[in-house]
Amino acid sequence: MNHTQSEFHILLIEDSRADAKIIARALRDRHVEHRLTVIADGRLALDYLMTLRDENKETDLEPDLILLDLNLPGINGCQVLRRIKEDPYLRSIPVVVLTTSIREEDIVQTYRAGANTYISKPSEYPKYCELVSTLKIYWGDTALRVPKPSRRNPQLPASGEHVIEEARFASPEV
């Protein structure tokens, strides 16, 4: 299936059908042009993501953003996150942890594993609408991301294999 380039592809890794429906409804109600792929299991999500590494796969199957719940059956969300961020091909896909947990240890653990953002699931529908709009504006329209075809380019250095010069700025004296 061929999808348009303007579609914002979200991979939602979420085992709650109710939460997945709320996110889908919020995206529709906010008129966010998107394509939503929902996978309810950590192992199946990893299987899906690992198939994207195949050079013969169409790049339109690659998500622009991953929304990841932590409380998944089988392989939990933090394990899924670690596998994504350890993979040289997948690590550039932004991962937003969207979960009910507000435990400090979960927050620390997921950021250490490479999460781009950690968000507690809203308790009210209007907050979900605000959330999906904000995610689309930031990750879809504002943030510069690695182009999908470049992820497959073996000539590009992997994370940590190059040095970026550090710029130091002095504050003007008053």
The arrangement of secondary structure in 8-151, i.e. its CATH architecture, is 3-Layer(aba) Sandwich (3.40)
* Model-wide pTM > 0.85: no
What pLDDT, in 10s, does the model give residues 39-70?
Answer: 999 999 999 999 988 777 777 789 999 999 99
Cα 115 from Cα 87, distance rounded (Å): 14
Predicted confidence band of residue 122 (pLDDT cuts 50, 70, 90): very high
Asked if 99 and 77 count as a contact pair (C-beta separation under 8 A), the reply is yes
